[in-house]
Amino acid sequence: DLELVESGGGAVHTGGSLTLSCAASGYTYSSYYMGWFRQAPGKEREGVAVADSAGVATYADSVKGRFTISKDNAKNTLSLQMNDLKPEDSAMYYCAADLSDLEPRDYLKNGMDYWGKGTLVTISS
């Protein structure tokens, strides 16, 4: 079975950094699109960043220039380096995967098929 497990969430102050990690197992990792999504209380889920099977990245405008997604096909891991964090970045962050071949912006908008349980990120001002 496909399994995605996130780690690395925590609490930092505005301007700080965090790195989220996602460990994947149970499938041919390199064939999948992978992504990070987030959802704050009372808000809709938001696509943050997507990496295609080769690791080419697409970002939401809200995080472009501050976040970096990295896909390591050899280690079956996905990471999200988050810099210059803002209070509005506070949310539950989810790792996701999909085997379809859609446009990255479609994944950011509509989500993916497989999801982890999430890791909480809290940014205080």
pLDDT at 29: 64
Is the model's pLDDT at 35 over the cut of 80? Answer: yes
In this predicted model, what pLDDT tens digit does every residue of 40-91 receive, in sequence order? 999 999 999 999 988 899 999 999 999 999 998 889 899 999 999 999 999 9
Is the model's pLDDT at 94 over the cut of 80? Answer: yes
- Dihedral of the CA atoms 65, 82, 33, 24 (nearest 10)? 160
pLDDT at 17: 98
pLDDT at 1: 76
CA distance to 42, 70, 72, 95, per residue, from 21 (Å): 25, 9, 11, 8
Mean pLDDT for all residues in the chain: 94
